[in-house]
Amino acid sequence: MVLIAVAGGTGHAGRAVAADAAGRGLKVRSVSRHVPETAGPGRVAGVEHVAADFRTGDGVAEALAGVDLLVETLDARTGPSLKALPATTVAVLAAAQRAQVSRCVLLTIVNAAQSSMGYYQVQAARARSYEASGMPTTVVYATQFHDLVAGIFSAGSRVGIIPTFSGVSFQSIATADVARVLVDEAVAGLGTGAEVHRSIKAGGPSVWPMKSMGEQWKSATGRRGVVASMPLPGSFGTFLRAGKNLVPDAAVGRLEFNDWLAAGPRG
């Protein structure tokens, strides 16, 4: 049976990847530094959870033993872990090569290379490592997750404001839709004739003005707060207003933001 490893399988996207792969009848191994408790959040039914640290190498050889396919959904937000993330991704690829993994698939963010924000630059560097590795790889460039946009509204509503950035739209996508694309790409790598390197874009089903999404979120969650338009300063604001977070030609997601909200709770 095909064994797929999800590097970061306890994370937000990683859990969806593990669930998707398990649902297809693949053998799935989630690899992360912390292994969730038997019934705890982060544990996906039917998935083997093992502990390893791709940054230090602890436990990695054992974690990748017998693995056929690997999907990388690692992330770090701040500090030394974020700084080290490009090197951690290089380490993932090196370990996968040693383990003779047939294809590695990376999840990253659309047009990250076009933003000067440190976090996006890190994501772009990781994608370049996959492209340059010479190994069979795919990079999936996804738009923002529904949860990320909802998280902005949720955080603001705690102080009575549902913030929406003027001139900004999102084409947000459900993690289940991203997961489907990632696992499709991994599985395609088992066949003969797959290109050595592939780049795929994955966007949500529709582009929505952020203001409209804020109103949808308020109505679905019943949370209090004024839906307020405000400018987002800085280079990230410029990036978003230029629509660089959008890929209307790659609207592969199926679950709309409002349907995702309806499947809640999303407060």
Ligand X SMILES: NC(=O)c1ccc[n+]([C@@H]2O[C@H](COP(=O)([O-])OP(=O)(O)OC[C@H]3O[C@@H](n4cnc5c(N)ncnc54)[C@H](OP(=O)(O)O)[C@@H]3O)[C@@H](O)[C@H]2O)c1
Catalog residues that contact ligand X under the rule CB under 6 A.
Answer: 8, 10-14, 32-34, 53-55, 73-76, 88, 107-109, 123, 142, 144-145, 148
Q: How far is the CB of 9 from ligand X (least distance, A)?
A: 6
Half-sphere exposure of 244 (CA within 13 A, CB side): 16
Nearer of residues 110 and 226 to ligand X, judged by Cβ: 110
Q: How far is the CB of 53 from ligand X (least distance, A)?
A: 5
Nearer of residues 108 and 157 to ligand X, judged by Cβ: 108
Nearer of residues 62 and 160 to ligand X, judged by Cβ: 62
First-to-last alpha carbon distance for the chain, in angstroms, is 40
Nearer of residues 127 and 192 to ligand X, judged by Cβ: 127
| Nearest-CB residue for ligand X | 11
Residue-wise burial string across 38-54, b where 16 or more C-beta atoms lie within 10 A, e elsewhere: eeeebbbeebbbbebbb
Query: CB within 8 A of 7, min separation 6: which ones?
Result: 14, 31, 32, 54, 70, 71, 72, 73, 74, 92
Nearer of residues 7 and 162 to ligand X, judged by Cβ: 7
CA distance 244 to 127: 17
Q: How far is the CB of 28 from ligand X (least distance, A)?
A: 14
Q: How far is the CB of 147 from ligand X (least distance, A)?
A: 7
Q: How far is the CB of 224 from ligand X (least distance, A)?
A: 25
Query: CB within 8 A of 79, min separation 6: which ones?
Result: none
